[in-house]
Amino acid sequence: MKRNLAILTLIGLLLMPTILLAAVIETPPATPPVTTLQNIVDIMDKVGKWIFAIVFALAIIFILVAAFQFLTAAGSPERIASARQMLVFALVAVAVAVVAWGLPTLVKTLLGTTV
């Protein structure tokens, strides 16, 4: 019984690539090329939103790490200075994230496009 199960398992494993390769793989429709100013603005909008999300998440993490360093500094001037510097950099990152979030809107306004 165990031998038959082992043989069936081996046959199944050997046939697995054939079964998987028989699946029909559909290619997604091709994206149209960037042809208009609106397409460029849309791409800038998407990139700006991604930059905002990533930088903002990293800034929150660094703010938490800086707070932890403040709490565990135990009066050490070097560690307090390091935590303060990390907090300043995190706040600069938040400012960059806000600019990345608002830049596409500013470009849309200046170019007069509507979305």
pLDDT in tens, 21-67: 655 566 667 777 777 877 877 787 788 778 788 888 888 888 898 88
Q: Are the beta carbons of 38 and 112 closer than 8 angstroms?
A: no
Does residue 98 contact residue 91 with C-beta atoms inside 8 Å? no
Task: Count H helices and E strands in the chain, helices first.
Answer: 3, 0
What is the pTM for the complete model shown?
A: 0.56
- CA geometry: angle at 69 spanning 85 and 77, to 5°? 65
Query: Domain coordinates of the chain in residue numbers?
Result: 37-115
Residue pair 93/62 in contact (Cβ under 8 Å)? The answer is yes
